[in-house]
Structure 1
Amino acid sequence: MARVRDPAGYDGQREMILSNAAQLFAQRGYAGTSMNEVAAACGVSKATLYHYVRDKHDLAVRIAEEHVRRLEAVVEQVLREHATPQARMAALIRSFVAEYAMAQNAQRVLTEDVRFLREEDQQRIIGVERRVVAAFARTIAEVRGEDADSKLGKPMAMLLFGMINWMFTWMKPGRELDHEAIGEMVAELFFGGVRAVQVPPALATVELPDRPTPAREAG
């Protein structure tokens, strides 16, 4: 009799493997991480690891693609739930700060390691990423009262993503200034400029770094 797979157990183990692999890729880079190291980090044998993924390439594809499709789903939900362009834009900013906070490793794989994948996988993942950027660009154009194909929508969207991405190179978890407060600050800064940002209650007790810290040390 064929063995029946336990969906909950299989899916849980698979998520654990993807999470640990994403952390290793984020720390060491795709090229600098071996499947032996992934198996050791997961506490499983290499044979067990190959029961869940075909190879290292498959691991990176799953990490990047599942992450970017989750971001696309967040965009679609925000656009459905908020009526005005400004409400949508503010919700997009807050939601993406929260998502990046929970998936920093996967985000680094998406931004840094997709270039190592096969062309067809790159194009599929980048296609989803472009749809996410386009949704931000359209919303920014709407906030500005411009047509959806505004020349400023995409560059402003990319500047916004740069602000959010760079935040995780200096912000340390577990301090008083949390991701929710940062999300509000980013939204205020984006909408109103420097003068619009309000001081979060806990900010006075937080020491920020004197200089940015690289996401990954040079090896």
Structure 2
Amino acid sequence: MARTIAKDHDHKRARILKSAARVFAREGFDRASMAQLAAECGISKANIYHYYDSKDAILFDMLETYLRQLRDGICGLQMDGLSAPDRLRLVVQEILLAYQGVDDEHRVQSTGISALPAEQQQLLRGYQRDLVVFLSDILADISPDVLRDNKEKLRATTMSVFGMLNWFYMWNSGADAEARKDYAALVSDLTLDGLKGI
């Protein structure tokens, strides 16, 4: 007879993933052990194996959940009727707000994806690519004469915006929502108007 799934299965799974993100960010994926993951989560090593058969499976599930939710949340924003500059402002703000509270997951994605099998890397990088394309399309709409037909300049502009957002995450990870909104406005002004915008 198949074992039934506990009512709190999803809650425990989410707790394991959050704890694993802390351990992977602190120790590095290669140095982390299942025993450390279990201890961080406050469960036995045997219990963690009830949910995941390896730390690789935990890493993939953690990154897949994080990146899919980030992609879906940003790409699913309701922006009907907004001008391209207003869409940029909304997307930049929502990205920074989405980064709040997920510092460990964000840090692990930059080093952990390459530890996974190629097909899993492809899926995760696809989520990242979707976000890049989404922002690129908005930037191209803002300045079609300059960016629409110049893919190199469009990519550089898009990645520069992400670079500014990731700078904030790296140096202001504990910032509250208001500080994130203020910085999002600064990034948007710089992107839209250059130094004249601030």
TM over 0.5: yes
> Equivalent residue for 1:190?
191
Distance in structure 1 (CA, Å) of the matches to 2:176 and 2:134? 32
Matched, 1:158 2:168: no
Equivalent position SS for 1:83: coil
> Equivalent residue for 1:169?
170
Q: Do the aligned residues in 1 keep the contact of 2:35 with 2:45 (CA within 8 Å)?
A: yes
Equivalent position SS for 1:173: coil
Matched-pair identity in %: 27
Shift of 1:20: 0.9
Equivalent position SS for 1:89: helix
In structure 2, stretches of 5+ residues that fail to align are none
Aligned residues: 196
Seen in structure 2, the aligned counterparts of structure 1 residues 80 and 52 have a Cα distance that, compared at 3 Å, is farther
Equivalent position SS for 2:100: helix
Q: Which has the higher contact order (CA 8 A, sep 6+)?
A: 2
Seen in structure 2, the aligned counterparts of structure 1 residues 82 and 26 have a Cα distance that, compared at 3 Å, is farther
> Equivalent residue for 1:216?
none
1:49-198 matches, cutoff 5 A = 49-78=48-77, 80-81=79-80, 83-146=82-145, 148=148, 150-151=150-151, 152-171=153-172, 173=174, 178-197=179-198
In structure 1, stretches of 5+ residues that fail to align are 198-219
Distance in structure 2 (CA, Å) of the matches to 1:175 and 1:70? 20
Q: Do the aligned residues in 1 keep the contact of 2:74 with 2:131 (CA within 8 Å)?
A: yes
Q: Which amino acid aligns with 2:187?
A: V
Shift of 1:161: 1.1
Shift of 1:168: 2.2
Distance in structure 1 (CA, Å) of the matches to 2:184 and 2:92? 7
Q: Which structure's residues are more often helix, by fraction?
A: 2
**Please, what is the CA RMSD of the aligned residues?**
2.2
Shift of 1:80: 4.4
> Equivalent residue for 2:23?
24
> CA deviation digits over 1:131-166, x for unaligned, max 9?
211111111111112475542222211111111112
Q: Do the aligned residues in 2 keep the contact of 1:137 with 1:153 (CA within 8 Å)?
A: yes
Q: Which amino acid aligns with 1:169?
A: M
